[in-house]
């Protein structure tokens, strides 16, 4: 996981509801919030131990996964 400072969407994968959540959040963030998401980062529960220590890009969304305090949109 090494997303740049561009708008990034983290989502739980490879589950169906994580992918659908990502698609819906992508649409909402780009059409009504002016985001330009360039990075889609699938996350699995193997990341749980280090998840809260992961430095997120400035504008990051997290859907269908554990809360992250530095996410702009959860």
Q: Containing H/E element for 41?
A: strand 39-43
The secondary element (H helix, E strand) that includes residue 63 is: strand 60-63
pTM: 0.87
Q: Say how far apart CA 34 and CA 3 lie, in whole Å.
A: 19
pLDDT score, position 45: 87
The two structure tokens encoding residue 15: 């589950």
Q: Where residue 5 falls among pLDDT bands split at 50, 70, 90?
A: low
**Other Cβ atoms closer than 10 A to 49:** 8
Structural domain boundaries in the chain = 8-63
- Tens of pLDDT along 10-61? 999 999 999 999 999 999 999 999 999 999 999 998 877 889 999 999 999 9
Would you tell me how many other CB atoms lie within 10 Å of the CB of residue 46?
8
pLDDT of the residue at 74:
81
């Amino acid at each position: 996981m090494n997303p740049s400072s561009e708008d990034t969407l983290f989502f739980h994968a490879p589950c169906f509801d994580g992918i659908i959540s990502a698609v819906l959040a992508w649409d909402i963030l780009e059409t009504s919030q002016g985001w330009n998401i360039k990075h889609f980062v699938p996350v699995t529960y193997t990341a749980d131990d280090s998840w809260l220590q992961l430095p997120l890009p400035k504008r990051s969304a997290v859907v269908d996964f554990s809360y992250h305090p530095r996410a702009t949109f959860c």
